[in-house]
Structure 1
Amino acid sequence: MLYFTHWGAFGGEHTLPDKFSELTAMIGTFYDAVIEPRLWQKALDDMRGHFGFHLGAISVIAMPTGTAVVQVTTNIPDEYLAGMQAYNDDVIELWGGVARMAEMPLEEPILQSRITGPDVWEGNRFYEEWVRPLGLVDQVGIMLARDRTMVGNIGLGVHESSQPLTEAHMEGLRLMAPHVRRAAIISRMLDGAASAAATFEAALDATRSAVVLVDAEMAIVHANSAARAMLGNGDPIASVRGKLSLPRELVPNRLQVAVQAAARAEHELGRRGIGIAAKSRDGTALSLQVMPLEKRTMRGGLDRRATVAVFIADATAPLEMPADAMRLLYELTPAEQRIFELVVSGETTASIARSLGVATSTVRSHLLKIFEKTNRHTRGDLVKLSREIILPG
């Protein structure tokens, strides 16, 4: 089992790409699972084993129908899987209740023991009948989605025989999280088409979402019927000398940067290409997702010139100022965005840590990244920035 103690973030000489190198195969399997849904099981099991967890589960539910987009588990005995839904309310209680769960930033790994403790666990039906008998002593939860179109999360159980989790483990999960989230979002957009279709290209043509396949230079290789209609109208996407263009992109060139990163190496993509914001001609808010294709295990028929898939859909929620402007302009992670909001509202480091269920050191680390990304140096600078920031267009 790897503990990642050689990573640059913990005093070594390695750069960020080095941190990703050992995770590249796992990242790729999650993207493969978008095309071959049966691979979600392998992707989750690889993640569980790599980080030394005892068991794991991923749940992605389409809203408002409640249909399962992804529902896989690993290393959970069959007798414990049966009837798990009967414990929903008890599980929510272990995570501090609905309101507390709504505060958890997307993509941020949260230890359950930082949210609740034995005073809540003891007597909880799920804990007494499920957690304790399986020898679990803690759980890491990662929220993947929480909007009008889907809810999704990962749960990873820590066994009593396991080595203690370190901040290095949590940092590794943070590096994985945006890739898993992207795979979940795109799986929701495909709406089951990938499972039903004989080829991935057929799945793209069957989905109602607009999808354009491009090469590293943005040249259009394939567009499904929904995307062809948009291209024909020149709204909200256009073809300029055969290359994909996004005329009303809120932050210029983010799509191009994401496509180039995805084409170079999928681990370089990180959070780039998740929720690229744009508008249509009539002002409708749009959100674009970028997924690397070059190393995918295709089910035949897809043009090998295609290195990146671009998915276009209506935004799941209106932009909220100034937090969403900060996220878009400075490429903040969801956790950094939430910490920015709390800092601007006057919260201390300790109160932010309690609110989010993370260590104070994690808050400080995120805050340093916010300062670096915004070229600001104090909390007062961030407050001032929040009053001044506007989005282009």
Structure 2
Amino acid sequence: MAQADELLDLIGDIYHAALDASRWPDVVGRAGRFVGGQVASIFSKSPIAGGGDVLCQSGIDPHYCRLYFEKYVKLDPATTGQYFAEVGQPIAVSDLMPQDELRESRFYQEWAAPQGMVDFISTVIDKSATTAALFGVFRFEQDGLADDAARMRMQLIAPHIRRAVLVGRLIDLKSAEAQAFGAALERMTVGVGLVDRLGRLVHANAAARALLEAGDPLFTRDGRVAVRDGRSDQALQDLITRCAAGDAALGTGGSAMLMTAQDGTHHIAHVLPLTSHARRAVGRMVEATAAIFVRNAALEPPQAPELIAKAYRLTPAELRVLLGIVDVGGVPEVADLLGVAETTIKTHLRRVFTKTGAARQADLVKLTAGFALPVSA
């Protein structure tokens, strides 16, 4: 009866916080203690771009909080699994990976262990294409790993926290997504340029800026993106003009064209309209009507790891090893990058080989190349 009364009082205060934002820190702390931990937070983070933001917290050391988003969010082995979790589904780090594997990771040794943390149970509040917002409760040594009682209590309050958060607009995933969008562009090896209906460059990521500065095959002329070869330039300008009409003109997948640099190397430009359906939001961020993706006509690393994971039913740990092999190249290097033993990497790699049908590491590189297009319909 006491627990039922506590739950009813907590739910009432959760909805009060939707109307009075100043109540959130106290409510989040009480919710965390109800679930079974002394520290709790509502925050957002991106598995693609890294980074994130604390929206409301109770009991978190500011130093470690800052360290997490500046450095360790990219090393957190639970990030991918948390992002893939269904909205409202309680999930603990101990559900995603064995404790001995977690304790071997740099993330645990350098960030979690110094604070005495042993587990973290969370639920997704909302999710966008690049960002997830979560309510989470940290478990310390005295609390032990998340158990069935913690999961049950999280399930009891998670729907109410989600509704109150969304009603109270504590989070704005559009803003978070815009930040993650910009960060993701900078991390891409594919050159990405956003242009208006006249072909004027509105935004370019680092890879695109390098291409434009080199001036071959792309360059800027009076602020407009152009191609050195006259015929290719005419084709590009035509595609940009047609993007103003949206999917009706170019189709949902946009259109691609081949460009040749003076040294004979080939580049592929993929032009995608930003004026229709869900892509309008991206266009409004920077007042662009088209995105131009440019890459060398060679294998590129995948830009949609979640598609690979779903296609081959890879666990988050297996996906990290696959991407590590593609990006870094060898078991020792991947083990050092992830801060785990080489035997752990080899175990996951064997499972990746089994699930994908690949026989060698080189086969994994070829496999991921099929996911290299940076756009989807």
Same fold (TM over 0.5): no
Structure with higher Rg: it is: 2
Q: What is the TM-score when the length of structure 2 is the normalising length?
A: 0.40
